[in-house]
Homo-oligomer: A and B are copies of this chain.
Amino acid sequence: MAGSELTNIKSPRVKAARRLTKRAFRDRDRSFLAEGPQAVREALALDGVVVELFATAEAETRHADLVAAATAAGVPLLRASGEVMAELAQTVTPQGLLAVCRFVHVPLETAVTPGSTLVAVLAHVRDPGNAGTVLRTADAAGADAVVFTDASVDPYNGKCVRASAGSLFHLPVTTGAGAGRVAQHLKDSGLRVLAADGAGELTLDDVDLSGPTAWIFGNEAWGLPEDILALADEVVRVPIHGRAESLNLATAAAVCLYASARSQRTAPAGVRRPAPAG
């Protein structure tokens, strides 16, 4: 199935994939890299997402099921030497599998609709590892969508893809819209917009979370800027019961999203705010 092994890190196919580690080239090609068997499996589960698959000889044997699935889907398999894989992979111990994938995000209006009940918005999140962890947590908490605003890190950044542990392929993700447009669309879709910020007057225990809710998360160091706080219906903080100064971003997001999931799922029928008509 694969042709001869790619051993030259300067070959055009290797260079074309390698440059997808840079955002400008990702945006131009509308493609990104997904590393490791877990991400490759999730990507292959979506039609037409994987454009080509690089595999070392060892990985081709160890992950024969994935290679077979790729081949069955008509995905070109490129056998890569260890040196070529090391050139492409961004982890210290690459697991020998790497897929070039088409962008998977959808328009804001497709991701968030009047039927949405839980949405996570990443506004000004700059650390790709944090962003990927929040994406994974939002998936686990049963969120309908994750929104990256135009001031946040690129969801296709390699660290974000890895930290998401496959969740980038699980739920609708949207990127590129400004915070103002996002907030308006969330409200138009019937969601209450809560900004998570350590300076919030209300705590998580003070708000009724049983209705459709969107959470806006900011940057750990700065919190959320004034213009974003002004867009929210409420500014809510996770209560600090001990002496810690704050929580890290991914931790705070987990506590907020799971508090929403629990309230929504345990609320008596009829308490959930109905989606508006249209």
- A interface, CB within 8 angstroms of B: 38, 133, 136-143, 165-167, 170-171, 204-205, 238-248, 250-251, 254-255, 258-259, 261-262, 265-266
CA A244 – CA B247 in complex, angstroms? 23
Partner of A242 from B170, B246, B266 at Cβ < 8 Å? B170
B266 touches A139 (CB 8 A): no
CA A240 – CA B166 in complex, angstroms? 14
CA A30 – CA B261 in complex, angstroms? 45
B250 touches A250 (CB 8 A): yes
Nearest CB in chain B to that of A247: its residue: B140
CA A142 – CA B266 in complex, angstroms? 25
Nearest CB in chain B to that of A171: its residue: B242
Q: B residues within 8 A CB of A167?
A: 242-244
A262 touches B141 (CB 8 A): no
Of listed A38, A204, A241, residue having the most chain B CB within 10 A: A241
Q: How many copies does the complex hold?
A: 2
A140 touches B242 (CB 8 A): yes
B143 touches A251 (CB 8 A): no
Of listed A136, A204, A254, residue having the most chain B CB within 10 A: A254
Partner of A265 from B165, B241, B243, B244 at Cβ < 8 Å? B241
12 contacts between A and B (CB under 8 A): A38-B245, A136-B244, A136-B248, A141-B242, A165-B245, A167-B242, A170-B242, A247-B254, A251-B251, A254-B255, A255-B258, A259-B262
Q: A170-B242, A170-B243, A251-B251 are in contact. List 16 more A-B contacts (CB 8 A).
A: A133-B248, A136-B248, A136-B251, A137-B244, A139-B243, A140-B242, A140-B246, A140-B247, A143-B242, A170-B244, A204-B262, A205-B265, A241-B261, A250-B250, A251-B254, A254-B255
**Distance of A251 from chain B, by nearest CB (Å):** 4
B205 touches A251 (CB 8 A): no
Partner of A166 from B38, B166, B245, B262 at Cβ < 8 Å? B245
Q: B residues within 8 A CB of A240?
A: 140
Nearest CB in chain B to that of A258: its residue: B255
B165 touches A244 (CB 8 A): yes
Q: B residues within 8 A CB of A265?
A: 205, 241
A142 touches B251 (CB 8 A): no
A244 touches B139 (CB 8 A): yes
**Distance of A132 from chain B, by nearest CB (Å):** 10
